[in-house]
């Protein structure tokens, strides 16, 4: 079965955890797209929820589908968030941010009671790092951060959008780094990166995930922490 169909399988399994009356975090990306569509159909059939979007793109899609989108400040706390990942390992650790929404995604995950990650089978890995790790940086500091990351042998590359610098919804930059050969633990790497002034957030999601749903063929594999 194709990756697209596996994404749908995972998404349809995940929305079973959404009940009327809940406040729901809506992730960003190609897998989350199928989840949002499914929730839109549930809302059209009478389910009442409020949702917080992790990106402008997600907010536009959810609004178009009739989902009541509110701010995180209005929600205060989320019952469940469903989002995708670029990689997920057996310890429920993730790399996210391929779609550039890692900052809002991590904030929403932090403020959710239940975090569900949905992926196709290609995103399930034994070791994180084949997918480059996104780092969100303040434009004022990006060039100097890149030099510091180069000194750490992380081979940073600033993400581009055509000939222009890629910009997040918060108007920040993204720098993608290579962590495959790093000898330090992911926890230590996260802490080390966060000490560099101007790095707003990293795409390492190490402790936020409660449930992983992987589409594999026509089956949804559910893994609980």
Could you read off the pLDDT of 55-107 as tens digits, one per residue? 999 999 999 999 999 999 999 999 999 999 999 999 999 999 999 999 999 99
Residue with tokens 């199928």: 34
Q: Which of 6, 59, 87, 105 does the annotation list as catalytic?
A: 105
Decide: residue 114, CB within 10 A, 0-12 exposed, 13-18 middle, 19+ buried.
middle
> What residues form DSSP beta bridges with 223?
212
Establish whether 201 is a catalytic residue. no
Distance CA 187, CA 165 (A): 29
pTM score, two decimals?
Answer: 0.96
Q: How far apart are CA 209 and CA 145, in angstroms?
A: 28
Calpha distance 94→3 (Å, rounded): 18
Q: What is the pLDDT along the chain (225 residues), one digit of tens a residue?
A: 699 999 999 999 999 999 999 999 999 999 999 999 999 999 999 999 999 999 999 999 999 999 999 999 999 999 999 999 999 999 999 999 999 999 999 999 999 999 999 999 999 999 999 999 999 999 999 999 999 999 999 999 999 999 999 999 999 999 999 999 999 999 999 999 999 999 999 999 999 999 999 999 999 999 998
């Amino acid at each position: 079965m194709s990756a697209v169909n596996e994404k749908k399988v995972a998404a349809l399994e995940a929305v079973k955890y959404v009940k009327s009356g809940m406040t729901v975090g809506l992730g960003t990306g190609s897998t989350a797209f199928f989840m949002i569509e499914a929730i839109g159909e549930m809302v059209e059939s009478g389910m009442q929820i409020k949702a917080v979007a992790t990106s402008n793109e997600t907010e536009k899609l959810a609004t178009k589908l009739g989902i009541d989108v509110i701010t995180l400040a209005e929600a205060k706390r989320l019952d469940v968030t469903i989002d995708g990942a670029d990689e997920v390992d057996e310890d429920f650790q993730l790399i996210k941010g391929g779609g550039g929404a890692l900052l809002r995604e991590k904030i929403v995950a932090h403020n959710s009671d239940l975090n569900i990650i949905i992926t196709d089978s290609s995103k399930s890995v034994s070791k994180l790092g084949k997918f480059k790790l996104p780092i969100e940086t303040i434009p004022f500091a990006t060039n100097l951060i890149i030099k510091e990351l180069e000194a750490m042998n992380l081979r940073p590359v600033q993400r581009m959008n055509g000939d222009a610098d890629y910009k997040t919804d918060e108007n920040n930059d993204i720098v993608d780094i290579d962590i495959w050969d790093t000898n330090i633990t992911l926890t230590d790497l996260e802490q080390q990166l966060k000490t560099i002034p101007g790095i707003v957030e990293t795409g390492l999601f190490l402790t936020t995930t409660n449930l992983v749903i992987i589409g594999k063929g026509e089956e949804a594999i559910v893994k609980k922490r």
